[in-house]
Structure 1
Amino acid sequence: MVFRFCLFLFILCASVLTNAQDTFAYDIKVKFKGIETSKNVQLAHYYGNAQFLKVDSAKAENGIIRFKGTQGLQGGMYVIVLSPSVYYDFLISGTEPQITIEADTSDFLNTVKFTGSKENEILYNYRKYLADKTNEAMEVQKVLRTSKEPLVLDENKRKMKAMQEEVNAYIKNTVKTHQDTFAGKIIKINMEPELPMEVPLLPSGKKDSTFMYRTYKNKFFENVDFSDERMLRTPFIQNKVEKYFKDLVYQVTDSITTDADRVLRLAQKHKDVYRFVLWMMSNKYENINVIGLDGVFVHLAENHYLKNADWLDANQKAKFQERVDILKPIITGKVMPLLILQDTLGRDVNLMDIKSKYTLVYFYRYDCGHCQDHAPDLMKFYEENKDKGFAIYHAGTHETGDMKEELEKTKGFIKKYKTEKLINVLDLKLRYDFRKRYDVYKTPTIFLLDSEKRILAKSIPLEDVKGFVEFHEKKLAAKK
């Protein structure tokens, strides 16, 4: 009797252990025809449109890859990565414990089958439908390109129009039928907003030429669910925001900041989405090469990071505040902050006292390789442009606290590179921290100023100055 009880207890414990080992928060079985045995395969998800974040890996055994884990997967668009250039995407809504994916990798779209995932059935039925209609449309377009028969052309134009109407109706119906699914949201975010068929007339009787643009811009995000953080693990929110700013926003600071605030208000429906969109924008405009847009980052930092970013700790906020304090006084369009350096005789030379149409403030270091290499180009630029109203305030940044040594090495630079005709100055009185005052983290750094010492451009390459000034003068002439 004791033996039977112990045997029963052993079987019971073994069963419990087996069930525990077989219970996973996610279990994704992939059956790929044509995959090599023992191939290492990655499971990852999108994060924005530029990167995959790996979450698991497994080896292929007899054509089967199995990803499993004890912690659930967050919803998003995932990819099975066979190599950097070969991968297949699918959806995880965040609620599926088990999914089976079967496909022939030589024709994934037409052979893929999903078990345990309604989301992917919806998505891939939609993709297959679009692929079929695209093939049909290509045949019609071929006829339109090659035929010269009016009746044939008319017939195929009608076919094309009917096909487009059919596709639009299919997409609308799919989104409506599956509006509560993640797949439905993915399909919807890729829909273009509907526009009116007719353009209204202005009081003058003419058609409103900007009506469609304004309407399209206003409706651009109507198909985006900013409240669903799963969208972060797809490429689509980043794609939409980037397209909006590239195609619909006039690239001047005031327009960009106004539209940035608009998009960020929409993104505030979910904290993580807001955080991502804010990071996207600030990363772009802090490092942008387009002259005159430096005020965008300052605006984002002041009005969003320093006000709403509760995910930042005190040190991180202090760093943002420091960047604002540095950049705000030297935003393009502002008058250059006070700069009084000394010439090699120790006399003060106030930047504001220089009378010229344009002034280049050229921050350099005597021991900087780039500065030494570019010194001949700088002198050539001066000789070619001195009669066009250019002055060059050649400002040496100090490296040590020994200003006697600084002065001698600066004199050596001036003599060696023959910059005597420039306004050669340095900070003999140690008044300035050039990094914190003028954002000079590398040399050479160039500020281009107008006659009133307003900043026209900063961190502009010397070779671009002439072209920029010509463009600037054309703009001024157009306003007259």
Structure 2
Amino acid sequence: TLSFLFIFSATFSQYKIVLEAPQYDSGKAYLTYHMGKNLNVADSGIVNSKGMVVFSGDKTLPGGIYSIVFPGRRLTADFFIDKGQQITIKADTAKLLDMVVTGSPENVRFQEYQKFVAQKGPLVQQARRAYSSATNAADSAKYEAEFKKVNKEINDYRNSIVNNYPESMMAVFLNAMKEPAMPDKIPVTRQDSIDNYQYYKNHYWDGITFLDDRILRTPFFIPKMERYYREVIPQASDSIIADIDYKLLLARNAPELFKYMLNWLTDEYINPKYMGQDAVFVHLFNKYHSKGLSPWLNEKQMEVITRRAYMQMSNLIGEQAAPLDFLDSTGKAKPLYALKGDYTVVVFWDPNCGHCKQEMPRIDSLYRAEWKAKNVKIYAVLTEPHFPEWVKYIKDHDLGDWTHVYQTKEMEEEEKKNNRPSYRQLYDVTQTPILYLLDKDKRIIGKKLTFEQINELLKVKEASAKK
């Protein structure tokens, strides 16, 4: 009995997709699945002389929207794969809308939906064009009413499927493609705009579940997620972290979705677009990667993620800057924390760096014109062992008001011997010049900024202090 049950289970866990396309007698066809804007190949096969090809495998295919790519790769036809995976597709590429899919009730609903939209879609476009070209208020009202009527019919049809078959692949598909609800209130005041934004954000994921892997294999979910994290959610790291943790907690029950989201979020924030968002990447490392929750990553990938996280941990916005205890050109100790000022600009630079040569005089001009009067100090760190050039550049460009320091070779070797992190790791120095802005308590309030951006940040801080 056990043997029979095993054979029964194994047989029906396989997928078998038969394509019959009699207009072809050769060529290679592909079984692909949607993942955002891409079609990823799941299987392929050679079409025989009767126009038939069989895609089969010994594992169940993940549910989602799949697509047949016909020989020549010019034509495609979408269909659903979910629980029923013994499917036959009869297709005439001259009339793909009449394609017949058997063995899957999901595809009956999908084909009915496609035919309905094919009928109603042109009416929507027709009403929209007529509205755009209307020359008087009466015509505008007439065509607007027609547009709303047809649009309502389409939405009612979609909602009936979602309500009647809430667990179906069709419901997943329709919810994924649905645009977020827009508030009806026309904004008049600033608070109205804020309320409208909050409404849009709060309803952005209506109908979308993070508990279902099938959502991933659609054309809609990934672009929707990308837009959400790049354009919709506030770009403050705390807001992003709280949102990510909630969604990843839900997705733990959908392992493929969890894997994709964690990978995408890691890639998105490992080199963030906005200052301070590196805290998101560090959080992802601390809470997920370092806890073994990304076992699919290979050793090299984990090494890259780990190294990058440790480079960012000690220089997050709001954190206390790491101590720098270096020497000036005379060999006298000049610790960073001995420098007293309302603000400190830390500059990592090299006199042989072309960009540094251009930037240092410009920074000094701004320092003399504005920063010095605001009790801003500059702590400049030599990053390469170019001691003679360093001393000469400082003298030639009259940078004597800055505190210039370097790390001796002996200090560096002692650091390595005691297994202490280098200043390059502590300040994420991978190029030059790199500028940090510290407050009077040596907390990081700006990092990897241009001197113009630091100047703007100082003005903001100054204006805020006067309020």
Do the two structures share a fold, i.e. TM-score over 0.5? yes
2:135 and 2:294 map into 1 onto residues whose CA distance is 65
DSSP 3-state at the match of 1:254:
helix
CA contact (8 A) 1:292 1:456 kept: no
Match of 1:349 among 330, 334, 339: 334
CA offsets, 1:21-54, max 9 Å, x none?
xx97423315285x7x65444333244x255443
Shift of 1:438: 2.3
Shift of the 122–478 alpha-carbon distance from structure 1 to 2, 3 Å rule, reads farther
Shift of 1:416: 6.3
Q: Which residue of 1 aligns with 2:105?
A: 118
Shift of the 472–196 alpha-carbon distance from structure 1 to 2, 3 Å rule, reads same
**Structure 1 residue 249 and structure 2 residue 225: aligned?**
no
**Structure 1 residue 361 and structure 2 residue 346: aligned?**
yes
CA contact (8 A) 2:88 2:101 kept: yes
Q: How many residue pairs align between the two structures?
A: 431
Which amino acid counterpart does residue 93 of structure 1 have in structure 2? D
Shift of the 346–238 alpha-carbon distance from structure 1 to 2, 3 Å rule, reads same
Match of 1:182 among 166, 169, 172: 169
1:384 and 1:81 map into 2 onto residues whose CA distance is 63
Match of 1:372 among 339, 350, 353: 353
Shift of the 45–444 alpha-carbon distance from structure 1 to 2, 3 Å rule, reads farther
Match of 2:221 among 226, 237, 244: 237
Shift of 1:335: 2.8
CA offsets, 1:69-100, max 9 Å, x none?
33233322223346788654432115322331
Matches within 5 A, 1:276-291: 276-291=260-275
Which amino acid counterpart does residue 397 of structure 1 have in structure 2? T
Q: Where does structure 1 lack aligned partners over 5 or more consecutive residues? A: 1-22, 200-205, 399-405
Match of 1:426 among 406, 409, 417: 406
CA offsets, 1:131-181, max 9 Å, x none?
433321221122222222333222222222222222221111122233332
**TM-score after normalising by structure 2:** 0.78
**Structure 1 residue 104 and structure 2 residue 122: aligned?**
no
Q: Which residue of 1 aligns with 2:30?
A: 42
Q: Which residue of 1 aligns with 2:317?
A: 332
1:453 and 1:104 map into 2 onto residues whose CA distance is 68
1:93 and 1:351 map into 2 onto residues whose CA distance is 62
CA contact (8 A) 1:43 1:54 kept: yes
Shift of 1:328: 2.8
2:296 and 2:57 map into 1 onto residues whose CA distance is 30
CA contact (8 A) 1:445 1:459 kept: yes
Matches within 5 A, 1:125-136: 125-136=112-123
1:151 and 1:217 map into 2 onto residues whose CA distance is 35
Q: Which residue of 2 aligns with 1:455?
A: 444
Which amino acid counterpart does residue 298 of structure 1 have in structure 2? V
2:441 and 2:114 map into 1 onto residues whose CA distance is 60
DSSP 3-state at the match of 2:211:
coil
Shift of the 378–357 alpha-carbon distance from structure 1 to 2, 3 Å rule, reads farther
Match of 1:79 among 64, 67, 73: 67
1:158 and 1:151 map into 2 onto residues whose CA distance is 11
Q: Which residue of 1 aligns with 2:18?
A: 28
CA contact (8 A) 1:360 1:392 kept: yes
Shift of 1:310: 6.9
Q: Which residue of 1 aligns with 2:252?
A: 268
Q: Which residue of 2 aligns with 1:12?
A: none
Which amino acid counterpart does residue 337 of structure 1 have in structure 2? A
CA contact (8 A) 1:341 1:427 kept: yes
2:339 and 2:39 map into 1 onto residues whose CA distance is 54
**Structure 1 residue 386 and structure 2 residue 367: aligned?**
yes
Match of 1:91 among 57, 60, 80: 80
2:436 and 2:192 map into 1 onto residues whose CA distance is 42
CA contact (8 A) 1:44 1:56 kept: yes
Shift of the 325–171 alpha-carbon distance from structure 1 to 2, 3 Å rule, reads same
CA offsets, 1:395-418, max 9 Å, x none?
2336xxxxxxx3xx3323553695
1:375 and 1:210 map into 2 onto residues whose CA distance is 43
Shift of the 354–45 alpha-carbon distance from structure 1 to 2, 3 Å rule, reads same
1:214 and 1:207 map into 2 onto residues whose CA distance is 10
Match of 2:382 among 396, 407, 416: 396
Matches within 5 A, 1:314-333: 324-333=309-318
Q: Which residue of 1 aligns with 2:7?
A: none
**Structure 1 residue 159 and structure 2 residue 180: aligned?**
no
Which amino acid counterpart does residue 146 of structure 1 have in structure 2? S
DSSP 3-state at the match of 1:26:
strand
Q: CA RMSD in A?
A: 3.8
Which amino acid counterpart does residue 166 of structure 1 have in structure 2? E
CA offsets, 1:183-231, max 9 Å, x none?
22211232346688789xxxxxx99765554444334334123222233
CA offsets, 1:42-69, max 9 Å, x none?
333244x255443322344568362423
CA contact (8 A) 2:347 2:435 kept: yes
Which amino acid counterpart does residue 433 of structure 1 have in structure 2? S
Q: Which residue of 2 aligns with 1:19?
A: none
2:310 and 2:137 map into 1 onto residues whose CA distance is 68
Q: Which residue of 2 aligns with 1:228?
A: 212
Q: Which residue of 2 aligns with 1:415?
A: 392
1:478 and 1:344 map into 2 onto residues whose CA distance is 38
Shift of the 372–132 alpha-carbon distance from structure 1 to 2, 3 Å rule, reads same
Which amino acid counterpart does residue 380 of structure 1 have in structure 2? P
Q: Which residue of 1 aligns with 2:124?
A: 137
Shift of the 383–218 alpha-carbon distance from structure 1 to 2, 3 Å rule, reads closer
2:174 and 2:85 map into 1 onto residues whose CA distance is 20
Q: Where does structure 2 lack aligned partners over 5 or more consecutive residues? A: 1-12, 416-420
**TM-score after normalising by structure 1:** 0.76
1:288 and 1:331 map into 2 onto residues whose CA distance is 12
CA offsets, 1:287-336, max 9 Å, x none?
21211212112223333444572747997889867655543331012231
2:238 and 2:354 map into 1 onto residues whose CA distance is 38
1:427 and 1:86 map into 2 onto residues whose CA distance is 64
DSSP 3-state at the match of 1:257:
helix
DSSP 3-state at the match of 1:104:
coil
